């Protein structure tokens, strides 16, 4: 089992390459039911953003491990009335065994981790979405058998998913290409981290050319053009992002065995066509299922399940 006992996961950069691969192997064993683990502990979910897959997959994963889940929506806690983060963190630390947080600012997550002794998991911030990318890498590994040397191309907004994909691919020994419109680049500090992790062994490429980025890629990935909190900008973004839509034409430039991923929810006809997401190369539904298995492995490792 990966040696993550008692640790936070605020970013994929918190993992080593070997720890990442161990987590994926553990997820594979748990999914196949070759290994069954139990941890009778309590997970808190403190989600300030809407969630379907993250909320349900974390909840089911903890129940399947024999634990319990408390949904701490800010509207029903004192957080909504202005209680300082550090106060909430120190109190929850005395009730829970692990806390998954879905919020806006990465800094808020870091404050929780600083004041709480229990492990804190990044269930999504505006900067990163590490749990999503664990499931993505598990899905790619299932398709190709291994990750080393593969190329993943992400087209669209340089958002939290793009940031975590760069880190995850670098750790996994994959090449990653991020194609985005001018003004919508991924975070510069994350790009630097990913390139340091890759250490010239693999490529981390940024480009404005979606077609060049897609040529020969083994994985073609996209996300919505306006993330949570940016919906008011969606109409203005549409013409800027239109060339970055995953269509059958763009997919034809990728490797013939390429798969298509989308972290969902999808806006069909915008960042991806209905033809592609429902097509034979789409692994979107396996990817969504793998949120459960990847997060179960993460919880089991952090909590020392036996």
Binding-site members for L-ornithine are: 160, 223, 227-228
Q: Which position among 39, 177, 223, 287 bears the catalytic label?
A: 223
Laid out side by side, the sheet with 98-102 consists of 68-71, 42-47, 98-102, 120-122
Residue whose token pair is 């993943």 = 152
CA atoms 94, 96, 99, 103: torsion sign:
negative
Among residues 263, 287, 293, 295, the one annotated as catalytic is 263
Q: Is 281 a catalytic residue?
A: no
Q: Length of the chain in residues, anyone? A: 306
Among 147, 114, 107, which Cα is nearest to 128's?
107
The one catalytic residue in 39, 41, 97, 129 is 129
The Cα–Cα gap between 270 and 286 comes to 22
List beta partners, residue 268: 272
Give the annotated binding-site residues.
Answer: 51-54, 78, 102, 129-132, 160, 223, 227-228, 263-264, 291
Residue of 110, 135, 117, 121 lying closest to 44 (CA atoms): 121
> Active site includes 223?
yes
Q: Are 297 and 23 in contact (CB under 8 A)?
A: yes
Residues 165 and 198: beta-carbon distance below 8 Å: no
Spatial distance between the Cα atoms of 255 and 213, rounded to a whole number of angstroms: 12
Alpha helices by DSSP H, the chain = 17-32, 53-64, 85-92, 106-115, 130-144, 160-172, 188-198, 210-214, 234-241, 248-251, 274-277, 284-303
Q: What's the rounded Cα separation, in Å, for the pair 98 and 100?
A: 7
With beta carbons less than 8 A apart as the criterion, state whether 97 and 222 touch. Answer: no
Q: Is 263 a catalytic residue?
A: yes
Catalytic annotation on 93?
no
Catalytic entry in 102, 237, 262, 293 = 102
Check if 218 is active-site: no
Q: Is 97 a catalytic residue?
A: no
Tokens (6 digits) for 136: 């993505």
Residues annotated catalytic, as ranges: 102, 129, 132, 223, 263, 291
């Amino acid at each position: 089992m990966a040696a993550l006992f008692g640790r936070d996961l605020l970013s994929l950069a918190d993992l080593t390459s070997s720890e990442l691969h161990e987590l994926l192997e553990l997820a594979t064993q748990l999914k196949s039911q070759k290994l069954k683990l139990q941890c009778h502990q309590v997970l808190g979910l403190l989600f300030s953003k809407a969630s379907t897959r993250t909320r349900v997959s974390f909840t089911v994963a903890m129940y399947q491990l024999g634990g319990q889940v408390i949904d701490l929506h800010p509207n029903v806690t004192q957080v909504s009335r202005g209680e300082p983060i550090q106060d909430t963190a120190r109190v929850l630390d005395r009730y829970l065994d692990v806390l998954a947080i879905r919020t806006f600012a990465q800094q808020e997550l870091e404050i929780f981790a600083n004041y709480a002794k229990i492990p804190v998991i990044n269930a999504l911030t505006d900067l990163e979405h590490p749990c999503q990318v664990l499931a993505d890498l598990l899905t790619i590994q299932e398709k190709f058998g291994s990750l080393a040397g593969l190329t993943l191309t992400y087209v669209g907004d340089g958002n939290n998913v793009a940031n975590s994909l760069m880190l995850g691919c670098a750790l996994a020994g994959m090449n990653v290409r991020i194609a985005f419109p001018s003004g919508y680049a991924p975070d510069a500090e994350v790009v630097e981290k990913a390139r340091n992790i890759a250490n010239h062994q693999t490529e981390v490429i940024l480009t404005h050319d979606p077609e060049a980025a897609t040529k020969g890629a083994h994985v073609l990935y996209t996300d919505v053009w306006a993330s949570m909190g940016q919906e008011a900008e969606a109409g203005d973004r549409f013409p800027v992002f239109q060339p970055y839509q995953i269509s059958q034409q763009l997919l034809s430039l990728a490797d013939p065995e390429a798969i298509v991923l989308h972290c969902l929810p999808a806006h069909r006809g915008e960042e991806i066509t209905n033809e592609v997401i429902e097509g034979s190369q789409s692994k979107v539904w396996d990817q969504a299922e793998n949120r459960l298995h990847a997060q179960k492995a993460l919880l089991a490792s952090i909590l020392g399940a036996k």
